[in-house]
Every structure is written in C-alpha cells, then in structure tokens.
Amino acid sequence: MEGIISRSTTPDLPDQAARPRRTAGIGKVLLGGVAGVLLTAVLLTVLWRPRTEVTYRSTAPSAVAYEDGSPHFLGLVHEHGLSGRHSYRMVIGRDSGLSYGHWVDVDPALGAQGIASTTWTESGVRVRFPTGHEVFVPARFFLHGR
C-alpha cells in the first residue's frame, strides 16, 4: 500500500480564533437590553420624581396673638408621588417654609379644588373649602413648634 495517499474524511476546519462566537453576540444583546431598561428607569424617575408644591398660603393676622408669641402660617401642600399618586396636606405652624408643623391630611378630591378661605382666631384656625367643607384646627395643636 505504499504509494497510496490517505485522505482525511473530515474537512479542514477554519481557525477557531478567526470565527466569531455565537455566545459573545448573545451576551452583547443581553447587556444592551439591560442597559436600555436601566436608562429608561432613570429617565422616568427624573421626569416623574416626587415633588411638592404649595397651592395655598395663609398667615395669621398680627391682630391674632398666640401665647407662644410667634407668627403662624398655614399652607396646602400638594405632593406628586413617583407612582403618579397625588396627596394633599395642610401644614400649620411657625415655619414659613411649611416644612414643619401640625399636619392634617386632606382628601385628594377636596385638596385639588384648593382652599376658599381661612379664619384665624385665638382658639385656632378654620379652613373652608369651595365644596362647603370646613376644618377647624385648635391652636393647641400648632403652638410651641408642633
């Protein structure tokens, strides 16, 4: 059998390093998908971030003197939640920025219409809404920094 040249039955394979790997492409697609989801979540958070705004302000008149000797403020604060939820809260106290004081939660349907008027007396403050609802907050709840 000399002189017979043996031939291989398997064809020559191209170099493994030169051939792209299928798993590397899938990994890049998955990484791009995850990055896209994260960027979308960050963008939505920035656009719909929780924020607050004061929709109504009232200051106790100087003729109404409270025992703690401080000026007092009332505000209706509208809070926009990240989930799209809206809530309203009355804040009454000595802080003109309305970040601290006595808080009273207000139904969102009522708060969305705003406050019609406030009446300050030595015994407290009466808040009237356009719907006819009234809330009276006794002074003892918002005096002395509460």
pLDDT in tens, 58-110: 999 999 999 999 999 999 999 988 777 899 999 999 999 998 999 999 999 99
Mean pLDDT, the chain, integer: 85
Residue keyed to tokens 């019609």: 116
pLDDT at 82: 76
pLDDT of 9 higher than 60: no
pLDDT at 27: 80
- What region does 43 belong to: left with phi over 0, alpha with psi -120 to 50, or beta? alpha
CA neighbor of 81 nearest in space, from 48, 56, 44, 53: 48
pLDDT at 18: 57
pLDDT at 113: 95
Annotate 100-134 with DSSP letters as a single string. SSEEEEE-HHHHTT---EEEEETTEEEEE-TTS-E
Residue 29: its H or E element: helix 22-47
The answer to whether the beta carbons of residues 74 and 92 sit under 8 Å apart is yes
pLDDT at 7: 58
Tokens of residue 134, six digits: 């009234």
pLDDT at 3: 58
pLDDT of 15 higher than 60: no
How far out from the chain centre does Cα 135 lie? 27
Least confident piece of the model among 13-17, 95-99, 114-118, 128-132:
13-17
